[in-house]
Amino acid sequence: MKLIQIILENTTYKIPNFNFEWEEAIRYPEFKKLGKQGWINIASKGKGVSIISAKDISNTDANKPGSFKLLDKDKQKRTLLQIKSGTVEMPIIAVYPDGHKELLGGNTRLTALMHKNGKATVWMFDVPEDILEKVVDDKIVCDNCGWEWKIIDGGDDLYMCHKCDYNNKK
């Protein structure tokens, strides 16, 4: 695997192992329905981005001081060894068309880097709008369970599935 040439304070950030991270990606229906290779094709179009805050990233507590110490001890050790070695695999962040950022994989790495350095380099990729929930005629079909409902029956939370509680607007 080639290294991306981003070197900060003697740390080289490595492109994520998308094959391994597929296990994290399949938690999201929009990626699961693409299949492994489809997800890899989209995610691999991203790039390394330096961040100084994780406040606008969902699915992580990396912005909270001390949260690293609350994570799994074995993962803490592995992550600290990566940092000490000088080569760290970038955490993966999906950026949705509405600007929402979701951490897909690498929470321990992101939290450790923010805790230790106050900054991190992450792999960000854009989620194409065409893989997200679409309105079909006058109905919405849940990406998670397949249940469908008419737009006029959607209520205040049009994209929230009332069968499985999945938010189709992510």
Domain ranges of the chain: 3-130, 133-170
Cα 67–Cα 30–Cα 167 angle in degrees, nearest 5: 65
Q: What is the mean pLDDT of the chain?
A: 87
Q: In whole angstroms, how far apart are CA 86 and each of 14, 20, 25, 120, 142?
A: 10, 21, 26, 13, 43
User: Both tokens of residue 46?
Assistant: 């991203």
- The tens digit of pLDDT for each residue in 26-52 reads 998 889 888 999 999 999 999 999 999
Model pTM?
Answer: 0.75
Per-residue pLDDT band at 113 (split at 50, 70, 90): very high
